[in-house]
Every structure is written in structure tokens, then in C-alpha cells.
Amino acid sequence: MTTHPRSPSTPTRRTPQRVAVVGGGIVGLSVAWHLQRYDVEVVVLEQGRIGEGASWGNAGWLTPALARPLPDPHVLRFGLRALLDPASPVYLPPTADPATWRFLLGFARHCTAPAARRAMAALAPLNRQAIAAFDELADVHAVPRTRDAQPFLACFGSTQEAMALVRELQDLEEHGQRPHFDYLTGPQVHAAEPALGAGVAAAVALRGQRYLHPPLFVASLRAAVEEAGGVVREGSTVTGVRRDVAGLRVVTATGEDRHVDAVVLCGGAGSGDLLRDHGVRQPVQAGRGYSFSVTGAEVPSGPVYFPVERIACTPLHDPWVTERDEKWRPLPVTPRLRIAGMMEFRPHGAPLDPRRIEAIVAAVRPLLPQVDLDDRQDEWVGSRPCTTDGLPLIGPTRTPGVHVATGHGMWGVVHGPLTGRLLAEQVVTGRASPLLRPFRPTR
């Protein structure tokens, strides 16, 4: 059974005894697990299946060195023509609804150098503590240990492209992040990763980064919540959260009516209506990503990133877990290479667009020539919850007892466990960590 270390501080006010967490991705499950450290009774309400929204099919990278806000001046250089091209790494369907266009206008206003620096300054403290939060969970056997990426390779077709990332990494030092990396060219690149194609001319080898097996991690974290006494309900769509004399009422589409002392909204890209009901005006847009898995005669032995193409490759080894994590060995792990990418601004819940999968395949084929891209499994699309300023929404809403943890964009995995720890403490004690101040949901 998972044991929860006691909270380092004793609450001085009446603590909530029953909390509903709406959303069962990595963020929601992390919040739920940390709430249980305070002996809080937790129920997780997930509208679909646990982790299917954005957690299950993502690349599984723990790369604080790359965790930057999505709005950035270089994004605007794509231009409208690129946005409307289905083969582009960033795609906007011509039939996008007015809400999506309003989101993009707000997003564009934050694609300035000053705004990007402010947003990076807000995220950097989370980045510095993110990996330690995973170790905290692994130390008590709540999840398997994450793997060291030795190294993590960001690969480019030219030295000029690679130097752009080098400058970004050097700029992180002004925010207190000091990523360690090596710059590789020519034969050095292929010595580091023989699976790469001849067109890869340069690479940045990042040190100190990690990765995980997303389905295994989600399954293990769910099991940890349930072993500690939490209830996880799939197929439970929350339609409203209302306050009455007894506290907060959580109402579902099936007519379930549950009274709780506090609610944490972690529903990701599908949270819009619930957020607005509680005074959160910052829109949360679905930035959909695609993935699939493959094998081949020669596949990368570690994580590989193609920044120009916006494509991530992660080996899902077998066995994933080590002897130190024997508890998780019974969970099945298939040895595959997961390939993920794209940022598609389309409504949450829209069907998978095969053209996006084909665009990833076409981009990867010359980069990993020994990978069998025609034998694809687990084709998947999921919605990352994106905000106009690129910062997550973490903290209390205007309704007493209702809190939010969403809007992490592409970095929900990286920041999920740390978000869970910090927000659980705030829900129970009423004290907000200074790290969360830039992420106020009512900003």
C-alpha cells in the first residue's frame, strides 16, 4: 500500500475533509495524491478514461531545459499561410470557430520579446523544482522512477538551426536555469545516435533531462491514489459546481449530486464552461497533439527531438521498470518508439485527422531512415490545454472552495507532480506558495 508522508506543516484552520478533483490526467491525479497526505477524502471524476485527454499519448519528456511558454516572437514568423497548411507543425483549420480566432488574437499579443521574458521568469522556478517532485513520488513507491536521458538529443539539419537553440539555452541563465549541454556536428552526431539519417548535420546534447513511460506512469499514479483510499470514477462528466448551505455540490451528467468541501478543476482543454462559471476569464484552448508508435531495424536508444519539425521521439523500452521498482513489473510494457508532434488548434473532442499523422510520417522518414513508419500502432490525438499568455492556471477561483489546475500547455507532464504538491497545500492550509503567484486563475 502507498504510504503518504505527513505534511511538513500543520494546518491552522478548518481543513476540507472531502475534495472532488475534476479531471484524471497527470495533473489531476497528482493533486489527488498530494491531498491525501493531509488525510483528505478524495474522489477523482474523469469524463472519459483516466489520462486519455493529454497524458496518455504524449512524449513523456521531463525536460525543464525546454519548458518554455508557447507564445514567442518566432511563432509569428510561421505566418497565416503556414498555419493553414495541414502539413505545417502548427495548424489552424480554415473552419476555425470565432472562439479559436479570439484565442489566437490574444495569443499573438503575447508573442513579444518582453512578454516572453516575463513568462519565462514565471516558469523558471517551476522548472528548477520539477524533477525533484517526481523523485518524491518514486521515493514512496507511488510511481516508477523516471529514466535519465543520457543524453537528450535535439537534432537539426544545419548548424545555423542548432545555434538558435544554443542561444535559447544560454539565455536561461538569466532566469536561474543552467542547463548543461554539448554541441555536436558531423560525425559526432551519428556517433551519439546511429539511428539518425544523413540529413541531420548538428545536434545539441542536453544533460540532466529525463523521460517516462506515459501510460505506465498514469496507471501507477491512479493505483497509488486508489491504494491510499481515493475513489476514481471514469465516465463521470461534471456539468456544474454550485455552492449551497451544505458547502459545494458537484453535479454530473448522469444526475449524480455530491457534496464536498472543496473542488479542484483539472479538466484540461474541456474545462472552459466550468472555469467561466467561477470567474476565470482566461480562455483555455485545445492545442491538439498527435502520436503513434513504431519499431524498426534501428531506432533511437534515447529521446530525440527535431525542433524545426516539432517532432518528439521517445523509446518505450521493455522492461521499463528496474529492480528498484519491482512493484510495477507486472504492468505490461511493449517495446516501441513513440513519435509525437504537431500543434493543432481545433476544438477539443474533434476526431483524429489522418492528414496530421501523414505529415508527421513525411517529416520523420528522412530523419530516421531505419524506422518502419508504415507499421504504426496506437495512433492518438489529445488536447493540450493552452492559455493566451502561455502560463498555467493554478489556484483559487472567485468561488470559495473552488480551485483550478489547468492550462499547462505542452508541459503538463513536466509540471504535473509539482503543481499537485503546491496546490494541495494551498487547498488545505490556505497558504499559497510564492511560486504560484504568477499563475492566478483570475489574472
Residue 312 near residue 61 (C-beta atoms within 8 A):
yes
Q: In the prediction, which pLDDT does 3 show?
A: 58
Q: Judging by beta carbons within 10 Å of its beta carbon (0-12, 13-18, 19+), is residue 48 exposed, middle or buried?
A: middle
d(CA 361, CA 355): 10
pLDDT tens for each residue of 313-336: 999 865 444 444 556 555 555 568
Q: Alpha helix locations (H) across 70-195?
A: 73-76, 79-83, 98-109, 113-139, 159-171, 187-192
- Quote the pTM value: 0.92
Cell numbers describing residue 430: 490556505
For helices 412-429 and 113-139, the axis angle rounded to 10 degrees is 80
Residues in the chain with pLDDT < 70? 1-13, 78-81, 317-335
d(CA 415, CA 408): 8
pLDDT tens for each residue of 66-84: 999 999 888 777 666 677 7
Q: Which of 43, 16, 7, 4 lies closest to 430, judged by CA? A: 16
Q: Which of 391, 402, 412, 338 lies closest to 123, judged by CA? A: 391
Q: In the prediction, which pLDDT does 137 show?
A: 97
Residue type (1 letter), 324: R
